[in-house]
Amino acid sequence: MNCDTCLFYEYDEEYDDYYCSVDMDEDDYARMMQHQECPFWRDGDEYKTVRKQM
């Protein structure tokens, strides 16, 4: 899984660490671990749209 590029992978200044901000339950987490693929992953590249316009 590539969480580093995910839109939901956010930095928490209080804990000085990154975390997943998706509100998933145990079933979602188990499914994610079983398939080794996150169903919530969204491209967090904010420049993607700009590159398409060029």
Note the pLDDT tens digit of each residue in 1-54: 688 889 999 999 999 999 999 999 999 889 888 988 888 998 877 666 666 666
Residue ranges per structural domain of the chain: 3-53
Q: Which residue has the tokens 């209080």?
A: 14
Task: Give CA angle at 38 (23, 27), nearest 5°.
Answer: 55
**E strand intervals along the chain:** 9-12, 17-20
pTM summary value: 0.67
Cβ(22)–Cβ(8) below 8 Å? yes
**Which amino acid makes up residue 37?**
E
